[in-house]
Amino acid sequence: MRTLPKSVRIGAQTYTVIADPNLAAEDDCFGQRNSRRLTISIDSGAHEDRQAQTLMHEALEAANHEYHVKLTHDQIEQLECAVFALLRDNPGVFG
């Protein structure tokens, strides 16, 4: 079983990753990013694949913010799916 990392480095910032067992129940979402507090919360009750994909999504949201890329939420969702599948389907290729 995969475990969530304690933190992820995005640009010059280090975001703390928080496992929240009630996140989806409270907000009907699997992840949240807070750029002011530098946190990414992930619903720890979700399936491990959902947790990993949600972490990818929130990390892309954070990169979008940190680098002022200005991607729309729909574009981030599409990129999330593509990058997640690329990394999942090609283990060991990218590090």
Provide the pLDDT for residue 24: 84
Say if CB 5 and CB 16 are below 8 A apart.
no
Return d(Cα 51, Cα 69) in angstroms, integer: 24
pLDDT (tens digit, 9 = 90+) per residue, 28-87? 789 999 999 999 999 999 999 999 999 999 999 999 999 999 999 999 999 999 999 999
Q: CA separation (Å) from 34 to 14, 19, 68?
A: 12, 14, 16
pTM of the predicted model, to two decimals? 0.91
